[in-house]
Amino acid sequence: MALIPPFFMDCVVAIGIDNKDVNGHEIDNPKTWIATGFLYGYAIKKLDNEKNQYMISLVTNRHVFNNLSSIYLRFNPQANESAWDYKIDLLDDNGDAIWITHQDPEIDIALIPINFNQLIEHKIQANVFQNDNHIANIDKMNKVGITEGDFAYVLGFPMGLVGDHRNTVIVRGGSIARIRDALNRTNKEFLVDAFVFPGNSGGPVISKPEAMSISGTKSLKSANLIGIVKSYVPYQDIAVSVQTKRPRVIFEENSGLASVHPVDFIEEIISEYLKTFDPLKQYSVELEDD
């Protein structure tokens, strides 16, 4: 019995960079996998009862894109072949960023429209979180009664663990630790009780469907994308000198709580973008020749 639709895994990609971009020289492993992203489809309404078209974007954290000129995305072919790496430029010919982000600098979300048709042509096993079918924004979470204690999953590639042969998403279970302040829009984040590590940044958070609920509450009938991982919440311990009584070293530990932005902020970024740009404008992903 699957609690997460299997195609959700195909919406998630590893994000990597050239190792030489980090160290200034080539080393044995040509890429470092630094973060997680996912494909998000924003429905563009059509006339005459046609199916919706989607503006499809790669979504991750703002801090992932900062100071980078390009990234790699790791996808699986439909056949049981080794994963393919695609290169995406993040800057145009003038050196300006072609990725977009929220006007509020505290919202750690960025996205870049991509050409999904190219992935289809290359027979890549990729899929998309459709915003009219697979997400639960704040209004929907309030409607279905999502609250503290509900179970959730974090999808991603902690510590760069992307798999050897295929791109293999790591799924970690947890529970919503605090969300009511986000649901009443007094906080831009909510907390999930789940361990996340470097590499999880930008990963999707999925609600767990439940067949049963206590009296007076609703059961969650389906899994939905409810947020994007921002970071873990750190715990700091200070070592104090016995002689001077002054702090000497600060140790930072992972508290086991993950900070998550609701999907509403993804929608806000795209809505603002569509005020200026053609909704179906897309940037092509370039296949890297390894």
pTM, full prediction: 0.88
Q: Which of 38, 246, 233, 64 is nearest to 134 (CA)?
A: 38
pLDDT in tens, 187-234: 999 999 999 999 999 999 999 987 555 555 566 678 999 999 999 999
Q: Which pLDDT value is given to residue 221?
A: 75
Beta strand ranges found along 61-214 (DSSP E): 70-75, 84-89, 100-101, 110-113, 129-130, 151-156, 170-178, 190-193, 204-207
> Which ranges of the chain would DSSP assign to H, the alpha helix?
19-23, 62-65, 116-121, 138-144, 180-183, 264-274
Per CATH, which fold does 6-287 belong to? Answer: Thrombin, subunit H (2.40.10)
Task: Decide if 202 contacts 229 (C-beta within 8 A).
Answer: yes
Q: What distance, in Å, lies between the first and last C-alpha atoms of the chain?
A: 38
Task: Decide if 159 contacts 172 (C-beta within 8 A).
Answer: no
The amino acid present at 176, given as its one-letter code, is: I
Q: For the chain, which residues make up each domain, given as ranges?
A: 6-287
Task: Decide if 113 contacts 56 (C-beta within 8 A).
Answer: yes
pLDDT in tens, 138-180: 999 999 999 999 999 999 999 999 998 999 999 999 999 999 9
Q: Is 52 helix (H, G, I), strand (E, B) or coil?
A: coil
- Rounded mean pLDDT of the chain? 88
Q: Is 53 helix (H, G, I), strand (E, B) or coil?
A: strand
